[in-house]
Structure 1
């Protein structure tokens, strides 16, 4: 029996300059008692705007700076606050870990969740899942939810004033979206939501890729100079919404498996998720024997915005170590197996080294 097509997304998505000043107006139907789970910078840059949006209301607000990792004990701590204070709405403010902690807390307490990303480094804000860690910060599990967030509110001023490296990493994460969904579609593999891939999902994924090519370089320049331009707004939407909803409903393939594989190498620990996903996308296209014009277009884009096109840029100096990453990227259950005809560690190793050779030509 064919997999039924499925499409999921946040209930509401709001983006623009000063969007947080509308926070109360956009979430007031969810409840009147809020727990804001914040990163340190999330609290610093967002709390005043949010408090201002609640002026004149009788809502109860509790801002809590969390420990930095979406761990089991951190989630338990937040659940206790919810229970002790009769919280009705959970809000995550910050990067991926704050967002994942808020989603998990809301899920276990059966409450609505709103998300306020302060960086666009990944597509976590819109997705219906969290990455959960053990208390020693080692990976534990992916937690899948029956629904996506009730609201995602992105204030472009906050993104424009965040370090540009986060915007660039988000573009790397978003770059894989279309090519991974296309691979899943070709092999009839399910999406992250375990459904068939709809025309709407593929359209979002393709729009994500086109938006990156058209606006990426200019958006980077805008962000470096804290300027809010149409190009920056377009890339924020691509990184957060198009990539998030696209990946959720389009599926993953080699690009993200390559990231998972490289996490086994100590020298890549400080390399951002999106940077490795971008390099993994180049390797995936090589494995698929994609037209050389398509590979060149992707590599030109990466080079223009500062995403890696060589192994050296992601921290690898000993190419033999890539064997370890390739083995880890191809373990059973990894999304690399969503490629038509499958992929072996040796094939992936050869593709990664070929990507590196092509990338080195940019620096000659």
Structure 2
């Protein structure tokens, strides 16, 4: 059996924010906008105007900044018994996941309105919860993917470059994880054998980013959306989400459990964490030195992290390495790998990356 899941409707391009009222109106006549103060200042007025024009009653709730069970409790309590039909989750991955958590409580539809392209949270039906110290707590699920994903690339290019880079890192890894999930007989996020389209999308993601990441980053530096930006955003927000949910995950995303448990690494962006973890997985796969050199050159050219120091941990201790490895292999997706892996294998790979000298042969 195979299962394929996707958002109900995906709209991308400069100025698409002005469609928000019309699109939300297809889903319901009452909505709540979940956004932090910065994002509300950026898009809140246009959302309100669009909803008003479409006859959609809108209420706003301020996101507190961290996606924890307590934050979802707070947002739900702030509604005071109101049950809007649509949750518009605007901002980055944390706020969009908070909106998903609120929608799950309400039984409401989700409209994702990303203002950054830092990960593929806008398209997926899963949302990640952390504790108060930003250690990964658990992954919960909506009954279905967001009904609407609306991506205004004129807004996206005004966000900090590092967030765009994180999105590239998050999407880049999906080809390697989907391949390992398929090789090992693993299951995708929907609990089925991965459909072929998941693998195709994952591979397309990787090829698109290798071809277009550099010019897209240059366009972001200029603050001007262009064709490279459009291609990369489609890959990082849409294809990447479809790829991981349908193709499956492996060691790379499992490493976020370990990396987020080290205080110096916990605040680093998800996309940068998994980009680093891809190097670890490739070493575990025993990729040849030429492949690793090519991938490392791409990392260096774009600014993706090549070692733990690039993520904020300057001098990892033996205990740090051991903790990351142990928690990584406790994650369920770590089983989606085509060979047995022990904590010592991960430690050797991490140590090798931290001590690299221009090439990346086997650990």
Task: Indicate the residue corresponding to 1:39 in structure 2.
Answer: 36
Task: Indicate the residue corresponding to 2:154 in structure 1.
Answer: 157
Residues 251-286 of structure 1: CA distance to partner in whole angstroms, max 9, x if unpaired?
111111223212222222332221121111111111
Shift in alpha-carbon separation, 1:357–1:140, aligned structure 2, 3 A: closer
Distance in 2 (CA, whole Å) between partners of 1:119 and 1:295 is 29
Distance in 1 (CA, whole Å) between partners of 2:238 and 2:79 is 28
2:186 paired with 1:189: yes
Task: Indicate the residue corresponding to 1:213 in structure 2.
Answer: 210
Q: What is the TM-score normalised by the length of structure 1?
A: 0.92
Q: What is the TM-score normalised by the length of structure 2?
A: 0.92
Task: Indicate the residue corresponding to 1:224 in structure 2.
Answer: 221
Shift of 1:137: 5.6
Shift of 1:145: 2.2
2:263 paired with 1:279: no
Residues 115-169 of structure 1: CA distance to partner in whole angstroms, max 9, x if unpaired?
1011121211111111124567654321122210000111111110000000101
Q: Which of 240, 250, 257 is equivalent to 1:243? A: 240
Aligned residue-pair number: 358
Q: Which runs of 5+ in 2 are unaligned?
A: none
Shift in alpha-carbon separation, 1:272–1:296, aligned structure 2, 3 A: same
Q: Which of 79, 94, 99 is equivalent to 2:91? A: 94
Shift of 1:216: 0.6
Shift of 1:26: 1.8
Distance in 2 (CA, whole Å) between partners of 1:315 and 1:63 is 35
Q: Are 2:188 and 2:248, in contact at CA under 8 Å, matched by a contact in 1?
A: yes
Task: Indicate the residue corresponding to 2:328 in structure 1.
Answer: 329
Distance in 2 (CA, whole Å) between partners of 1:236 and 1:282 is 23
Residues 215-262 of structure 1: CA distance to partner in whole angstroms, max 9, x if unpaired?
111111111120101111111111111111111111111111223212
Shift of 1:57: 3.2
Task: Indicate the residue corresponding to 1:347 in structure 2.
Answer: 345
Q: Are 1:336 and 1:342, in contact at CA under 8 Å, matched by a contact in 2?
A: no
Distance in 1 (CA, whole Å) between partners of 2:192 and 2:157 is 35
Counterparts of residues 263-278 of structure 1 (less than 5 Å): 263-278=260-275
Give the root-mean-square deviation of aligned CA atoms. 2.0
Shift in alpha-carbon separation, 1:182–1:151, aligned structure 2, 3 A: same
Counterparts of residues 1-364 of structure 1 (less than 5 Å): 4-54=1-51, 56-82=53-79, 84-134=81-131, 139-319=136-316, 320=318, 321-331=320-330, 333-358=331-356, 360=358
Specify the SS of the correspondent of 1:233.
helix
